[in-house]
Amino acid sequence: MSKYDIIVLGSGPGGYVTAIRASQLGFKTAVVEKENLGGVCLNWGCIPTKALLKSAQVFEYLKHAEDYGLKVKDYEHDFEAVVKRSRGVAEGMSGGVKFLMKKNKIDVIEGFGKLKTGKKIDVDGKEYSADHIIVATGARSRELPSLPQDGEKVIGYRQAMSLKKQPKKMIVVGSGAIGVEFAYFYNSMGTEVTIVEYLDKIVPVEDDDVSKQLERSFKKSGIKIMTSSEVTSVDTSGKGVKATVKTKKGEEVLEADLVLSAVGIKSNIENIGLEDVGIAVDRDKILVNDYYQTNIPGYYAIGDVTPGQALAHVASAEGILCVEKIAGQHVDKLDYGNIPGCTYCSPEIASVGLTEAQAKAKGLDIKIGKFPFSASGKASASGAKEGFVKVIFDAKYGEWLGCHMIGAGVTDMIAEAVLGRKLETTGHEVLKAVHPHPTMSEAVMEAVADAYDEVIHL
């Protein structure tokens, strides 16, 4: 039996980062992976979807070339080539993780891992032991009873990014990050897209103003949006799909080539030995303490299988914190109130902290500032005037409670707010920090200035 200090079960952005940090700390480390190094994020999620979205963005540029004083006579998209490029990007990134495993002297054990008592893992019949075992098995597309996925006419995100033929009509069920990103991609490529959302607004976790702006932008681009609506059944017996949708006005039947189910995720916790070891689980999540220890000594869990936000950067941060704690380092528990969320449709969405509604629900006295990109010189020059930056501060102490952005490139701007909140920056300090001009990021400063009645360019 091979013996390690740490074995990580799963090699997604939680697992492989955890393994690398463990190796850096001097632990003899192995990672168990049943499919591809990098997990869903690198192979079927974060990375390949961004490649698809980039192709869509370039295609949009071509369609609007005349807006920039350019004439492009002949252009068209090759859907198969777009998908092929995306898969190539994913394969390259997965190969990069393989290189990192070798560089950091981490053993990669291929196969399906199952936890055993006594700090052991069985991988396809062969046992391995470790002083510490970290579960990082991630999640998959969740299926609704009314929307069973057959992989052909009712699909999840995996099939959505590797279709051989572009659909003429598509119904997207769910308007979280996955739903709106694919809605934007397929709409940009020329597919007729309808979004069906159960709640009363799209991107429901975002600030109300952001949700309203995205709905305006999507409708302008031709995407049909149905909120407060629910797909109660699907009929796949014909050539395409007939989806029965329950709305406030009654039932409506939508016809399309296929339905994309984007209604959330399901943790991968089945058949990995949790029950055999006695690890506590509640509502599809492994229960852990602030340092990701389960109720059984020597067993840990991070990422999508735990109750925190199901985001790649959260899984990575949890894994690093977990192994640093194992190494005896002093670590502060993760602040889940300061985790940025990013959605890569167009316009992009980025946010951190409290929404306006959440701040008011807490009874806080707040200052709100908002700066539209239509008043930004850089945005105007770039032809990207949609959207805004919205900031929320505590009126008494100046604490930066929340920041919400929608517009071009905002996913690269949100880190300023995350760092500012981490350092307990006040609104006055942000306002007096000189921002470069002309940039999209100076909209943050202008939004703060608006909150304090000092805005210049609005």
**Among all residues, which ones are annotated catalytic?**
437
- Nearest to 173, CA basis, from 148, 196, 150, 192: 196
Q: How far apart are CA 302 and CA 298, in angstroms?
A: 14
What is the model's pLDDT at position 1? 66
Phi/psi at 82 (nearest 5 deg)?
-60, -45
Distance of CA 432 to CAs 376, 403, 419, Å? Answer: 19, 17, 16
Q: How far apart are CA 449 and CA 454, in angstroms?
A: 5
- Nearest to 215, CA basis, from 243, 250, 184: 184
Instruction: Report pLDDT digits (tens) over 30-50.
Output: 999 998 888 887 888 888 999
Q: Quick one: how far is CA 113 from the chain centroid?
A: 26
Instruction: Report pLDDT digits (tens) over 81-138.
Output: 999 999 999 889 889 999 999 999 999 999 999 999 999 999 999 999 999 999 999 9
Q: How far apart are CA 115 and CA 118, in angstroms?
A: 9
Listed in sequence order, the DSSP H helices in 248-337 are: 274-277, 312-326
pTM for this predicted structure:
0.94
Q: How far apart are CA 38 and CA 82, in angstroms?
A: 21
Domains annotated for the chain, with CATH where assigned, are: 2-140+266-336 (3.50.50.60), 154-263 (3.50.50.60), 347-451 (3.30.390.30)
Q: How far apart are CA 172 and CA 147, in angstroms?
A: 12
Q: For the chain, what percent of residues have pLDDT higher than 70?
A: 100
Averaged pLDDT score across all residues of the chain: 95
Mean of pLDDT values over 327-335: 96
Amino acid identity for residue 397 in this structure: Y
